[in-house]
Amino acid sequence: MNRDSDDLPIAIRLANRNDVPTILTIATQTATASHWTAEHYSHVAEKGILAIAESLTSLCGFIAVQTLTDDWEIQNLVVLPEFRRNRVAEKLVRNVMQSARNRHATRILLEVRESNAAARAFYEKLGFKMDGTRNGYYKDPRESAIMYFARL
C-alpha cells in the first residue's frame, strides 16, 4: 500500500473480489469510463492489475491494467467527481508505472477518446506520447481513439 502525504491522503492498494461492487458503482457514475461487468473486473483483478485509491473514508477511484510481458495497457481509469483535482488519478497511474518498472515492462499503452482534451493533457503531462489514431474505435457516440505510450 502506498500513501502520499501531499494533497488528499490517499492509499493505493490492489483490489479484491469484495471491491468489485464498489468499483462498478464508481464506473457507472462516470460517463467516460468503460462500463464492464463484474466478471470482467474480477478477471482483471486475477489476471492483470486492478488497483484502487482509498481516502480516509471511502473508495474514490480505480485503475484497470492488462499486464503483458513488455507492454502494459491501461484499460480503465476512473476517479469519482468529488475527488478529482486531488491528484488521485496521477497517484494511480504513477503507482502502475512503478509496478511495471519493477516487473521489467518497457512501455505502458492506452487509448483516449479524441474529444477528451482533459485526459489527453493529463497523460501528456505524465510523459505519454501520441502513437496514432484508431478511427471509429469508441461507440455511443462513435469516435476515434488517440493511442498513447510511455517508455519506462
Q: pLDDT digits over 59-70, tens only?
A: 999 999 999 889
d(CA 42, CA 4): 27
**148 domain residue, yes or no:** no
**59 domain residue, yes or no:** yes
The 10s digit of each residue's pLDDT in 84-99 is 888 999 999 999 999 9
**43 domain residue, yes or no:** yes
Name the pLDDT band for 2 (thresholds 50, 70, 90). very low
**68 domain residue, yes or no:** yes
d(CA 59, CA 55): 6
User: Which residue range forms the structural domain that includes residue 104?
Assistant: 2-110
**46 domain residue, yes or no:** yes
- Based on the structure, what is the number of domains in the chain? 1
d(CA 143, CA 139): 7
Question: The pTM is what?
Answer: 0.90
Count of residues in the chain: 152
**134 domain residue, yes or no:** no
**31 domain residue, yes or no:** yes
What's the CATH number where 29 sits?
3.40.630.30
Which of 19, 99, 120, 105 lies closest to 69 in space, CA to CA? 105
The 10s digit of each residue's pLDDT in 4-59 is 435 678 999 999 889 999 999 999 888 778 889 999 999 999 899 999 999 988 89
**69 domain residue, yes or no:** yes
First to last CA, the chain: 21
